[in-house]
């Protein structure tokens, strides 16, 4: 594991013994490494999505759509493409080639997390575009965290930064997309 992913191991051991928690700069870096490609991948389908739904209009065994009309092949493909481009840019910015793979995986994780959120909403009989608080805001970032964990072991601090920052950022970006006419609902 590269040194900037490890942080200060001695300080962490001391914190465990004293049961204290503090954020380190490395927590913020890991959060940024994951957030940039994940946010780009998650927002791109709003701009460039549309077309054929991923589930091809099929129902699950419960009689409800698998994902719904809003999850499209084109949106997923463009999300992965632009999230990956963001990963390359991030790797260049931080002069760290390892961020390319981590960013591509974060993009894929974000998109899969969003699909899982849509799948869950259909099981709860919530139609596409209708809100499911916290799931709508966090499904993509949790997917990115999960998939990147073998590549970038996120600390509790990094995960908390991502979760706490993502909720207001997601709500604000949705409000802006609504105001610009890119979304039909403000959430």
User: d(Cα 187, Cα 175) in Å, to the nearest integer?
Assistant: 7
What is the reported pLDDT for 1? 46
Please check whether residue 158 is in contact with residue 30, taking contact to mean a CB–CB distance below 8 angstroms. Answer: yes
pLDDT in tens, 19-71: 667 789 999 999 999 999 999 999 999 999 999 999 999 999 999 999 999 99
pLDDT in tens, 139-155: 999 999 999 999 998 89
Q: Answer yes or no: is pLDDT of 18 > 90.
A: no
Residue 152, sorted as left (phi over 0), alpha (psi -120 to 50) or beta, turns out to be beta
What is the reported pLDDT for 182? 83
**Residue 16's pLDDT band (cuts 50, 70, 90):** low
Q: What is the 3-class SS of 63-99, one letter each residue? A: CCECCCCCCEHHHHHHHHHHHHHHHHHHHHHCCCCHH
At residue 31, what are phi and psi to the nearest 5 degrees? -60, -40
Structure tokens at 9: 């191991």
User: d(Cα 28, Cα 14) in Å, to the nearest integer?
Assistant: 20
Angle of CA points 19, 8, 102, to nearest 5°: 110
pLDDT in tens, 78-105: 999 999 999 999 999 999 999 999 999 9
pLDDT in tens, 162-179: 999 999 999 999 899 889
What is the reported pLDDT for 120? 97
Which sequence spans correspond to the domains of the chain?
A: 23-179
Q: What is the 3-class SS of the chain, one letter each residue? A: CCHHHHCCHHHHHHHHHHCCCCCCHHHHHHHHHHHHHHHHHHHHHHHHCCCCECCCCCECCCCCECCCCCCEHHHHHHHHHHHHHHHHHHHHHCCCCHHHHHHHHHHHHHHHHHHHHHHHHHHCCCCCCCCCCCHHHHHHHHHHHHHHCCCCCCCHHHHHHHHHHHHHHHHHHHHHHHHCCCCCCCC
**Residue 186's pLDDT band (cuts 50, 70, 90):** confident
Structure tokens at 21: 């928690």
At residue 72, what are phi and psi to the nearest 5 degrees? -115, 160
């Amino acid at each position: 594991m590269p040194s900037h992913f490890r942080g200060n191991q001695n300080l962490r051991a001391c914190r465990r013994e004293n049961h204290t928690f503090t954020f380190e700069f490395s927590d913020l870096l890991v959060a940024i490494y994951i957030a940039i490609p994940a946010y780009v991948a998650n927002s791109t389908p709003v701009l460039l999505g549309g077309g054929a739904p991923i589930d091809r209009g099929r129902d699950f065994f419960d009689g409800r759509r698998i994902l719904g009309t809003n999850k499209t092949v084109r949106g997923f493909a463009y999300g992965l493409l632009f999230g990956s481009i963001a990963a390359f840019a991030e790797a260049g910015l931080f002069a760290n080639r390892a961020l390319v793979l981590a960013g591509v995986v974060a993009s894929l994780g974000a998109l899969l997390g969003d699909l899982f959120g849509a799948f869950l909403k259909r099981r709860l009989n919530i139609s596409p575009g209708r809100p499911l608080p916290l799931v709508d805001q966090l499904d993509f970032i949790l997917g990115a965290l999960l998939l990147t964990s073998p590549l970038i072991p996120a600390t509790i601090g990094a995960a908390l930064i991502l979760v706490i920052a993502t909720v207001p950022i997601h709500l604000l970006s949705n409000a802006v997309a609504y105001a610009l006419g890119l979304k039909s609902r403000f959430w």
